[in-house]
């Protein structure tokens, strides 16, 4: 499959084609029900199974089925966070995750609200075609070069015909990314050196790319690097230098039917593109989950789990990319692989030992959460910069893992029954 990749960072189309080819190769499409929405999941304690209600193709009619074990692969960055004030805008508007492909932005006055990962991808893509682009920035991001280059024919040939070359290349990428976690660990000499190097790279990238000193200052973050997501881009800064792009850093105080109002006035626009992030606490929304004694209602200030995979109060329910399993330095696909291996071990154990009900003990969950939060206090994520990694006060960091990927692999590589309450079929 490597010969199909054209660049270091592949486009959406290439990634989608790859996923489709893998699904076809392993014949999993026959097991997928598309256009379906899980509405409710209710645990039946008497029968020790989940009762699930699903809507297909937006039909009001619900289909019901039961499952001994549930695995949520819903993911985190999928439910758009759309501030209610934008409901008042009567022109065209959409979130970056719900892009309106029927919309033409050519020649229009467009506002992009936000300055995070989605915004720095959208802005360079649409700036050349709009008449004017207004970028509403609350907080500037730390941005490092992406260095997205096409793969040469020679490189592709090496990957295709030299034994183990792909594995070595992949391992090298993994190791380099793992080392960047050193920039997140506070109170160590390695953190100081790695942090200085990372900051120099970002500052140098910005200073070379933005020649206007006033604009450069407004695009310079004032918080500690790594507290919010570090972004990679080669074309964001050049896009911000365009004559038809204006950076607005004034606070938005209102949204009217034809434009956006800030502390310094109103700007009329034709289209509003909301790069306003996601509801990262909605791990399994919009489904309602009813355990034996409680309903799942995520509280950012007190969100707990065990290994980010299972939660007390919800037996036989496993999650992929649950609480505290996001990353700021490496690929979450590795985290998903660790979680899936752990879940498979758990299911095999349940089958081998004839277990009907498996639920993590509250003390196991509490101990894991306390240890993890203590570890996170020694990272840059706890410096309270208003990131989506933590609750409003910055006290509970619920989105990210507190170590590198190797530490998570070590924590999940072997399933043990001891942290769980177990019910057997023969009892």
pLDDT attached to residue 427: 55
* Backbone φ and ψ of 203, nearest 5°: -65, -40
Quick check: 4 and 254 in contact, CB under 8 A? no
Rounded to an integer, the average pLDDT of 266-290 is: 91
Residue 1 has pLDDT above 70, yes or no: no
Confidence class for position 5, pLDDT limits 50, 70, 90: confident
Examine the domain organization and report whether 354 and 400 are in the same domain: yes
Whether 28 maps to a domain, the answer reads no
Whether 199 maps to a domain, the answer reads yes
From 216, 246, 274, give the residue that closes a domain: 274
pLDDT attached to residue 284: 82
pLDDT attached to residue 3: 54
- Dihedral angle at the C-alpha atoms of 414, 415, 416, 420, nearest 10 degrees? 150
How far apart are the C-alpha atoms of 272 and 261, rounded to whole Å?
Answer: 13
pLDDT attached to residue 251: 94
- Find the range with the poorest average confidence among 124-128, 278-282, 326-330: 278-282
pLDDT for 12-62, tens place per residue? 899 999 999 999 999 999 999 999 999 999 999 999 999 999 999 988 899
pLDDT for 319-342, tens place per residue? 999 999 999 899 999 999 999 999
Distances (CA, A) of 20 to 3, 13, 33, 349, 388: 16, 11, 15, 32, 31
Examine the domain organization and report whether 244 and 365 are in the same domain: no
Q: Which carries the bigger pLDDT value, residue 219 or residue 282?
A: 219
Residue 354 has pLDDT above 90, yes or no: yes
Examine the domain organization and report whether 311 and 245 are in the same domain: no
In 237-300, DSSP assigns E strands to: 245-248, 252-256, 259-262, 265-268, 271-274, 288-290
Q: Per DSSP, what are the bridge partners of residue 256? A: 259
Quick check: 140 and 164 in contact, CB under 8 A? no
Number of neighbouring beta carbons within 10 Å of residue 202: 20
* DSSP summary character for residue 127: T
Examine the domain organization and report whether 219 and 313 are in the same domain: no
Rounded to an integer, the average pLDDT of 95-100 is: 94
- Dihedral angle at the C-alpha atoms of 213, 218, 223, 227, nearest 10 degrees? -110
Give the sheet arrangement for strand 265-268, strand by strand: 252-256, 259-262, 265-268
pLDDT for 53-94, tens place per residue? 999 998 889 999 999 999 999 888 888 999 999 999 999 999
| Chain-centroid distance, C-alpha 48 | 32
Q: Is the dihedral of CA 221, 226, 227, 232 positive or negative?
A: positive
Tokens of 192: 């100081």
Whether 181 maps to a domain, the answer reads yes
Tokens of 12: 């959406």
Examine the domain organization and report whether 303 and 232 are in the same domain: no
Examine the domain organization and report whether 75 and 211 are in the same domain: no
pLDDT attached to residue 385: 86
What is the residue-averaged pLDDT of the chain?
A: 93
Rg of the chain (C-alpha set): 24
Tokens of 22: 């893998």
How far apart are the C-alpha atoms of 169 and 106, rounded to whole Å?
Answer: 41
Domain containing 194: what range?
84-274
Whether 266 maps to a domain, the answer reads yes
Q: 341: buried, middle or exposed (CB in 10 Å: 19+, 13-18, 0-12)?
A: middle
Q: 400: buried, middle or exposed (CB in 10 Å: 19+, 13-18, 0-12)?
A: buried
Examine the domain organization and report whether 301 and 375 are in the same domain: yes
- Dihedral angle at the C-alpha atoms of 88, 89, 95, 99, nearest 10 degrees? 140
Confidence class for position 301, pLDDT limits 50, 70, 90: confident
Examine the domain organization and report whether 250 and 302 are in the same domain: no
Nearest to 278 by CA among 334, 317, 245, 229: 229
Nearest to 71 by CA among 250, 298, 317, 261: 317
Residue 399 has pLDDT above 70, yes or no: yes
pLDDT attached to residue 395: 81
Count up the domains in the chain and report the number: 2
Whether 4 maps to a domain, the answer reads no
Distances (CA, A) of 107 to 104, 129, 268, 361, 418: 9, 7, 14, 59, 63
Residue 132 has pLDDT above 60, yes or no: yes
pLDDT attached to residue 178: 93
From 274, 300, 320, give the residue that closes a domain: 274
How far apart are the C-alpha atoms of 226 and 218, rounded to whole Å?
Answer: 19
Examine the domain organization and report whether 100 and 61 are in the same domain: no
From 209, 244, 274, give the residue that closes a domain: 274
Nearest to 177 by CA among 141, 230, 227, 225: 230
Distances (CA, A) of 151 to 2, 16, 156, 177, 314: 10, 19, 7, 20, 47
pLDDT above 90: percentage of residues in the chain: 78
Whether 22 maps to a domain, the answer reads no
Rounded to an integer, the average pLDDT of 291-300 is: 88
Whether 119 maps to a domain, the answer reads yes
CATH code for the domain in which residue 168 is found = 3.50.50.60
* DSSP summary character for residue 412: H
Examine the domain organization and report whether 50 and 155 are in the same domain: no
Examine the domain organization and report whether 133 and 49 are in the same domain: no
Residue 206 has pLDDT above 80, yes or no: yes
pLDDT attached to residue 192: 76
Examine the domain organization and report whether 154 and 133 are in the same domain: yes
Tokens of 173: 């990428």
Whether 13 maps to a domain, the answer reads no
Question: Is the bond preceding 286 in cis, omega lying within 30 degrees of 0?
Answer: yes
Quick check: 372 and 308 in contact, CB under 8 A? no
């Amino acid at each position: 499959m490597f010969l199909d990749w054209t660049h270091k960072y592949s486009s959406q189309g290439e990634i989608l084609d790859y996923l489709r080819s893998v699904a076809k190769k392993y014949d999993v499409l026959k097991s997928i029900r598309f256009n379906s929405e899980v509405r409710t999941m209710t645990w039946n304690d008497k029968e020790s199974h989940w009762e699930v209600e699903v809507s297909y193709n937006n039909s009001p009619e619900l289909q019901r089925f039961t499952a001994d074990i549930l695995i949520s692969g819903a993911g985190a960055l999928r439910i758009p966070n759309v501030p209610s004030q934008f409901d008042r805008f009567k022109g065209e508007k959409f979130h970056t995750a719900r892009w309106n492909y029927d919309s033409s932005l050519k020649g229009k006055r467009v506002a992009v609200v936000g300055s995070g990962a989605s915004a720095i991808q959208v802005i360079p893509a649409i700036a050349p075609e709009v008449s004017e682009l207004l970028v509403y920035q609350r907080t500037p991001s730390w941005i490092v070069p992406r260095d997205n280059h096409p793969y040469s024919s020679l490189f592709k040939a090496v990957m295709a015909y030299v034994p183990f070359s792909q594995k070595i290349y992949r391992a090298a990428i993994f190791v380099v990314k793992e080392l960047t976690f050193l920039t997140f660990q506070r109170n160590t000499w390695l953190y100081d050196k790695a942090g200085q190097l990372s900051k120099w790279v970002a500052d140098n990238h910005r200073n070379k790319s933005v020649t206007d000193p006033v604009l450069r200052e407004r695009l310079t973050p004032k918080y500690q690097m790594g507290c919010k997501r570090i972004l990679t881009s080669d074309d964001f800064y050049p896009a911000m230098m365009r004559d038809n792009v204006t950076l607005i850093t004034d606070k938005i105080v209102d949204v009217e039917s034809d434009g956006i109002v800030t502390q310094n006035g109103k700007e009329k626009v034709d289209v509003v593109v909301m790069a306003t992030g996601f509801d990262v606490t909605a791990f399994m929304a919009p489904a309602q989950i009813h355990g034996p004694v409680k309903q799942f209602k995520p509280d950012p200030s007190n969100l707990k789990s065990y290994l980010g995979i299972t939660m007390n109060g919800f037996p036989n329910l496993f999650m992929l990319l649950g609480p505290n399993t996001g990353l700021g330095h490496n690929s979450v696909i590795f985290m998903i692989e660790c979680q899936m291996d752990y879940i498979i071990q758990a299911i095999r154990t349940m089958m081998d030992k004839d277990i009907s009900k498996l639920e993590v003990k509250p003390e196991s969950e509490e101990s894991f959460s306390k240890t993890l939060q203590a570890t996170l206090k020694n990272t840059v994520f706890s410096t309270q910069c208003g990131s989506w990694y933590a609750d409003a006060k910055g006290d509970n960091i619920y989105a990210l893992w507190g170590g590198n990927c190797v530490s998570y692999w070590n924590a999940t590589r072997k399933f043990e029954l001891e942290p769980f309450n177990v019910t057997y079929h023969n009892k």
